[in-house]
């Protein structure tokens, strides 16, 4: 009734394989995009930027990255925090070494550097699977954090051992440092989210996505139809780390501004992003958005309801958040392993027929 595809035909294969084959979906997507680009930048203030939009956008990039590796290619990784740190430190070194270059370039190159590191730590995936691979990536997590703590070259020998983002610009507009405008940083991050989502979608709907999913679903059968398992897994690690590196660079340079590696990119970060894709939906780009939005908005909403309306103490609300997230993870793993994205799909299927039962 509300949601229909009757009379919506594709007459060519490109039309059928586009991202939103149903016209209704397509228009809704354009609408969301238009609001995100043309409306929100004029309304945004610092509170909304820092509490909701920046973390949502940046975590979305990380979630898309991890989803490619875990959701599409089936390689479990607990090294997300470590790879984000690679992106952050690469960005820091680039920003301080080449001050006059645009931030756009810095962030992209940070992504590429992280992709290289990701491939390196992805090499064991040819030999080990599942839990054992997860432990190997855990080693990457701890090693990378240790490395950035111990080697002073990475933090330019600063006394505190922290890195802090100097003021850098894109097309003459400041996006890092203390004097940034909310709309500028918002649009800067939005650009990368759109870029990453489009790339991820294009890769997953074509030959690469099929290779990854084939490896995920049955690696022996994938090999028998001509998929080189090493190349498929490493390409997933590379693309995944590219996105995670970009998110790490943005997380440091745009969102936090100053970073202590163990605190910002520790093992908790790895789990946060993993929870996002579990709740949002493994193997779904939309799920990455949904999961990131959920985990970013939840604490803000809880604080609004618990502390501001009901007047509860802050620490109870903070603990309540942990309880809720923990319970949700368990519920999703048992009841709906494909997460919010699957709930959304089911809802759409029901809406398509509503109000008729069949």
Partner 1 sequence: MLDQSEGYMTADGRQIGPVVMEMKNITLRFGGVEAIKDISFDIREGEVRAIIGPNGAGKSSMLNVISGFYVPQDGQVLYKGALRPPMRPYQVAQQGIARTFQNIALFEGMSVLDNVMTGRLTHMKTGMFAQALWKGRAEKEETENREVAEKIIDFLEIQAIRKTPVARLPYGLKKRVELARALAAEPSLLLLDEPMAGMNVEEKEDMSRFILSMNDEFGTTIALIEHDMGVVMDLSDRVVVMDYGKKIGDGTPDEVRNNQAVIDAYLGVAHDE
Which stretches of the chain bind partner 1, using CB under 8 A? 12-14, 17, 199, 202-203, 205-208, 210-211, 213-214, 216-218, 220-229, 235, 239, 283
Going by their DSSP bridges, the two strands 163-164 and 169-170 should be labelled as unpaired
Q: Is 338 helix (H, G, I), strand (E, B) or coil?
A: coil
Token reading at 182: 């909310």
Q: Which residue has the tokens 């590696």?
A: 261
Helices within the chain (DSSP H only): 13-16, 23-34, 40-43, 46-48, 54-66, 80-97, 103-122, 130-150, 182-205, 207-217, 219-224, 229-250, 261-264, 267-280, 285-302, 314-335, 339-353
Shortest distance, position 127 Cβ to partner 1, whole Å: 14
Shortest distance, position 21 Cβ to partner 1, whole Å: 10
Is 233 buried (19+), middle (13-18) or exposed (0-12) by CB count in 10 A? buried
Alpha-carbon distances of 199 from 116, 168, 309, 322, rounded to whole Å: 18, 26, 42, 33
Shortest distance, position 231 Cβ to partner 1, whole Å: 9
Shortest distance, position 227 Cβ to partner 1, whole Å: 6
Q: Which residues pair with 164 in a beta bridge?
A: 258
Shortest distance, position 230 Cβ to partner 1, whole Å: 9
The DSSP 8-state label assigned to residue 154 in this structure reads G
The DSSP 8-state label assigned to residue 169 in this structure reads E
Q: Which is nearer to partner 1, 12 or 160 (CB)?
A: 12
Asked whether the CA dihedral 188, 193, 196, 197 is positive or negative, the reply is negative
Q: Which is nearer to partner 1, 61 or 295 (CB)?
A: 61
Shortest distance, position 267 Cβ to partner 1, whole Å: 29
Q: Which is nearer to partner 1, 17 or 268 (CB)?
A: 17
Shortest distance, position 299 Cβ to partner 1, whole Å: 32
Q: How far apart are the C-alpha atoms of 273 and 280, rounded to whole Å?
A: 10
Alpha-carbon distances of 330 from 8, 133, 275, 282, rounded to whole Å: 39, 22, 10, 15
Q: Which is nearer to partner 1, 218 or 316 (CB)?
A: 218
Q: Which is nearer to partner 1, 12 or 45 (CB)?
A: 12
Q: Which is nearer to partner 1, 110 or 169 (CB)?
A: 110
Q: Which is nearer to partner 1, 238 or 276 (CB)?
A: 238
Q: Which is nearer to partner 1, 207 or 330 (CB)?
A: 207
Shortest distance, position 248 Cβ to partner 1, whole Å: 20
């Amino acid at each position: 009734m509300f949601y229909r595809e009757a009379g919506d035909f594709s007459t060519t294969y490109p039309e059928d394989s586009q991202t939103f084959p149903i016209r209704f979906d397509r228009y809704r997507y354009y609408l969301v995009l238009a609001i995100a680009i043309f409306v929100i930048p004029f309304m945004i203030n610092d509170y909304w930027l820092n509490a909701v939009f920046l973390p949502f956008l940046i975590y979305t990039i990380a979630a898309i990255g991890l989803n490619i590796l875990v959701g599409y290619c089936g390689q479990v990784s607990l090294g997300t925090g470590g790879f984000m740190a690679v992106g952050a430190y690469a960005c820091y070194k680039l920003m301080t070494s080449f001050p006059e270059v645009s931030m756009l370039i810095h962030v992209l190159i940070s992504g590429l550097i992280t992709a290289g590191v990701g491939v390196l730590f992805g090499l064991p995936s040819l030999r080990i699977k599942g839990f054992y691979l997860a432990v190997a990536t855990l080693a990457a997590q701890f090693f990378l954090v240790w490395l950035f703590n111990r080697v002073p070259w990475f933090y330019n020998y600063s006394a505190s051992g922290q890195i802090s983002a100097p003021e850098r610009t894109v097309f003459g507009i400041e996006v890092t440092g203390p004097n940034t405008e909310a709309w500028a940083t918002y649009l800067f991050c939005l650009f990368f989210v759109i870029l990453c989502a489009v790339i991820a979608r294009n890769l997953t709907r074509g030959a690469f996505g099929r290779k990854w999913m084939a490896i995920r679903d049955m690696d022996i059968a994938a090999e028998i139809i001509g998929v080189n398992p090493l190349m498929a897994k490493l390409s997933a690690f590379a693309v995944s780390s590219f996105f995670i590196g970009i998110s790490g660079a943005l997380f440091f340079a745009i969102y936090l501004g100053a970073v202590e590696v163990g605190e910002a990119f520790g093992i908790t970060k790895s789990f946060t992003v993993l929870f996002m894709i579990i709740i949002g939906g493994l193997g779904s780009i939309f799920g990455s958005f949904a999961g990131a939005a959920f985990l970013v908005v939840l604490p803000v909403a809880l604080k609004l309801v618990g502390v501001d309306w009901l007047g509860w103490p802050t620490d109870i609300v903070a603990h309540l958040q942990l309880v809720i997230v923990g319970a949700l993870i368990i519920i999703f793993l048992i009841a709906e392993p494909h997460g919010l994205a699957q709930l959304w799909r089911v809802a759409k299927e029901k809406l398509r027929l509503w109000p008729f039962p069949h």
